[in-house]
Structure 1
Amino acid sequence: MAGIIQNVFTKGIYSLRETEAVSKLKVLANHVGLYLGLIIYTAIGAKIFQEIEYPYEHERAETYQALLVTKRILFLASIHNASSDRSEESFQYLEDALVEYEEACSQAADAGIDIVSKEYTYNWDYIQAVFFSLTILTTIGYGNFAAETRAGRIFCLLFGIVGIPFMLSVLADVGSLFAGGLELAWKNNKDRIKRWGEKLRIIKPKVEGAEDEDDFADAGLEASIMKGLGVVGVLCIFLSMGALLFTIWEDWTFFDAFYFCFVTMTTIGFGDMTPSISGEGQMVEKSIYMMISTAYILFGLAFTSTSIELVRRQYAESWRKMQELRANIQAQLKLADTLKKLSETAEKNNVDIGIDIADDLQALQNNLNKFKNSKMGGEFADVDIQQLNWVENNKKVKAFFIYESSV
């Protein structure tokens, strides 16, 4: 019988472990499926953008290239004619030819044609199309190039309507992982951070002999300040790592790269600085650079949004605790005022009070003065604690009336 019970118990444990393993695999599959779905959606969208926009860009580039060459030849011919014919009409013709050539140069430059070499580069190669698709999904929208055909713009609307919520789901999922990591880091390093805060005098050191309790967790504004500074510090480190990465690939200073990372991660996306993943260079190198940049931007968006949300929560929590503390102080002041009136009434009517609570009132005054003199005292400047001075002059205050017959 005992053997049967043991076998059942053992099978139950194995079954429980298998259930936990299956549950973990399902969670992992959900994460991986979400990320793979985004990758596939972006890859397909980029290919469609390329198929729509590339033929138009190719035709446009060839047209303006031919126009540039033609206007250059006409301008050179006008110079040759003006050198032999110095009439006013000849110079006017030369001036007109120069204006037309300048206009052709401007149009050719807008079409991506190099004015000197007359060669042109495409915005809509596949790598650029992938990057453009990501700027739509992440709502960064650099604006350095965009869809120009009607079909491309219609597809851009459809692609964004479906893809942006998809991307937000992915960023929220990654952000939850980051948030869990930050909370774990905070839990494991809380004591070390507390010591740093004490050295920097952001929080008060613990008094020896005090009760062993987690006063740092309940430190209110001080803990919130430490948490907020910690999150901002980690975010700056993350942006600095990206800045160092881009200074390797781009001809940027560290400040310019840091500026680009910040503008990108906050989805401001001015477009004044963008990664150079178009133009000359081997396709393999461009692909590697694009994948690294894309991965950093995606993780950075999730990390930055998570950091901003954590700082916002700390600010809201600090404000809530401040209001609770203010309400507590006001309640204690009302209690003190009531006891003061009680004392005055007792003295006026010669009423004997049987319990001595002067020490409690003194502790109340000391407690309120502690709030007033703390680093947060400026937040309670409007609280009048001086009204408790009557405690010093009335050391004997009683708690209950014992009415005497005065007939």
Structure 2
Amino acid sequence: MSESGRQRQGWTGSCYECRKKCCWFFKRLVVFCFSQIGIVCLVVGYALLGAAIFGALEEPKEELNRVLVKDIRNKTLHRLWWLNENLFVFERQNWTRAVEKVLQDFQIDVFMAVTIDGWDGREDNYTGVSEWSFTGALLYSVTVITTIGYGNITPKTTLGRFVTIVYAFIGIPLTMICLANVGHVLSISFKILYRRLVCKKRKKETNTTSDASSKYLFANPQNVKTEDDENETQFVLSDIETVSDTRVPVYVCFLLVIAYILLGTVLFSLWETWDPFTAGYFCFITLSTIGFGDVVPGHSLENWASPAKRVTCSLYLLFGLTLISMCFSLMVDHVREISRRFGQWIGLLQREGE
């Protein structure tokens, strides 16, 4: 074989090994992305990517709007000075008619700048945190993929609106899958924790009330076996008992959600100029994904100039929706049992033994 043939064969072999390594890496990447940790990383990375994209698209438009509003204000001042300099209007009625037209035009221009162009009320020399900074865009991305959609921050450019459609089309199903998977895992963990706490509590209560000749260890009556040894009765947990047999009461789920809402109430009432009821109302509207937008954090220009607060708000939304998903997963068994009993009561299902 010639030297060129050997080189060609070696190059082909190296390409084959490279393709083989790439396929192996791609398979491992796909497996990781569809794992519990991988899908959480996907959602977090997707939200960060959206923050970078929307910030780059919308922040220049926001800065331009501040300059345009300043120009509108200067033109209005110039028109008022022109009226004062050139029109000798000494009657109140004539002066009011002349100035009112200027103020009406200024009012319409400001209204258009706020509603259509998205002016945030800040001056062009504003040095604080803008609405479309990275943290503000991150909060917007989270509200999009979680379908909350407050509406206080919306894209004003055509490209930004088009990207929002594509971003939501991919991000909403991804987020729903992530919340469902994480909620299921957390529900299993909470069942294990709840079962251990209940068993410890029942064992402590049993030890305080048992006689010296008997020992009791309470468990699920369906999964208990008894052993008699020298007139002593001991209840031993059966190996059949699994996590799926554990039933968490519905009131415990409601208490978890209420506690999380109270935590958000304290948090936002300290950060915002809200009374506790308004803060609690905002937390409930947020966690229920209603998202009216009538009460939104950061509406005041002075109380939300902190990137850490926006990031904390985004984390509060994500953890809260995960908690809601976990509680729904815990209540599924109770809903099925209630539905089965209701079906037996109305005659749709046969009772056991019939």
2:260 is the alignment partner of 1:252: no
**CA offsets 1:110-144 (integer angstroms, 9 cap, x no match):** 443549x7876842122111111111111111111
What is the one-letter code of the residue matched to 2:63? H
Cα 1:235–1:256 shift into 2, 3 Å: same
User: 1:304: how far off?
Assistant: 0.8
Change in 2 beyond 3 A, CA 1:328/1:90: closer
Any conservation in 2 of the 1:65–1:108 contact (CA below 8 Å)?
no
Q: Secondary structure at the match of 1:272?
A: coil
Change (3 A) 1:324 1:66: same
Aligned amino acid, residue 316 of structure 1: R
Contact 2:66 2:124 in 1 (8 A): no
Q: CA deviation at 1:330?
A: 10
Q: CA deviation at 1:300?
A: 0.7
Task: Tell me which of 149, 160, 163 is aligned to 1:155.
Answer: 163
Q: Residue 51 of structure 1: CA displacement?
A: 1.6
Contact 2:247 2:333 (C-alpha < 8 Å) held by counterparts: no
**Which one of 74, 92, 112 corresponds to residue 69 of structure 1?**
74
Q: Do the aligned partners of residues 263 and 301 (structure 1) sit closer, same or farther apart at CA in structure 2, a change above 3 Å counting? A: same
Q: 2-side partners of 1:53 and 1:226: how far apart? A: 46
Contact 2:183 2:325 (8 Å CA) reproduced: yes
- Does structure 1 retain, via aligned residues, the 8 Å contact 2:138–2:314? no
CA displacement, residues 165-193 of structure 1 (integer Å, 9 cap, x when unaligned) = 22123212321232113312332244689
Q: Which residue of 1 aligns with 2:322?
A: 302
Aligned counterpart for 1:276 among listed residues 298, 308, 317: 298
Report the Cα distance in structure 1 between the residues aligned to 2:46 and 2:331, rounded to whole angstroms: 32
CA shift, 1:277, in A, is: 8.4
Q: Deviation string for 1:193-229 (max 9, x for gaps)?
A: 99xxxxxxxxxxxxxxxxx884699xxxxxx998111
> Number of residue pairs matched?
282
Quote the Cα distance in structure 1 between the aligned partners of 2:267 and 2:92. Answer: 61
Flag the 1:72–1:85 CA change in 2: closer, same or farther, 3 A: same
Which residue number in structure 2 is paired with residue 42 of structure 1?
A: 47
* Alignment partners' CA distance in 2, 1:95 and 1:282: 35
Structure-2 change in CA distance of 1:92 and 1:27 (3 Å): closer
SS of 2:176's partner is helix
Q: Where in structure 2 are the equivalents of 1:196-345 lying within 5 Å? A: 214=220, 227-276=249-298, 279-280=301-302, 286-324=306-344, 327-328=350-351, 331=354
2:185 to 160, 164, 177: 177
Counterpart AA for 2:60: P
* Aligned equivalents of 2:108, 2:62: Cα separation in 1: 19
Report the Cα distance in structure 1 between the residues aligned to 2:353 and 2:34, rounded to whole angstroms: 54
Tell me the SS of whatever aligns to 1:131. helix
- Cα deviation for residue 28 of structure 1 reads 11
CA–CA distance in 2 between the matches of 1:178 and 1:86? 75
Q: Which amino acid aligns with 1:308?
A: F
For CA contacts below 8 A with separation 6 or more, give which structure has more relative contact order.
2
**1:187 alignment partner AA:** R
Contact map agreement 1:53 1:149 (CA 8 A) in 2:
yes
Percent identity between matched residues is 24
How many Å apart are 1:320 and its aligned residue? 0.8
- For 1:90 and 1:240, the matched residues in 2 are separated by 56
CA 1:73–1:308: 2 relative to 1, 3 Å: farther
Moved more, 118-127 or 258-267: 118-127
3-state secondary structure, aligned to 1:37? helix
**2:187–2:329 contact (8 Å) kept in structure 1:** no
Task: Give the Å deviation of 1:317.
Answer: 1.1
Aligned-partner Cα distance in 1 for 2:192–2:310: 32
Aligned-residue offset at 1:78: 3.4
Asked if 2 retains the 8 angstrom alpha-carbon contact of 1:34 and 1:170, the reply is yes
Aligned position for 1:138: 146
TM-score by length of 1: 0.59
Whether the 8 Å CA contact 2:62–2:119 is kept in 1: the answer is: no
Q: Which runs of 5+ in 1 are unaligned?
A: 1-25, 195-211, 218-223, 332-407
AA aligned opposite 1:256:
T
TM-score normalised to structure 2 length: 0.67
Q: CA RMSD in A?
A: 3.8
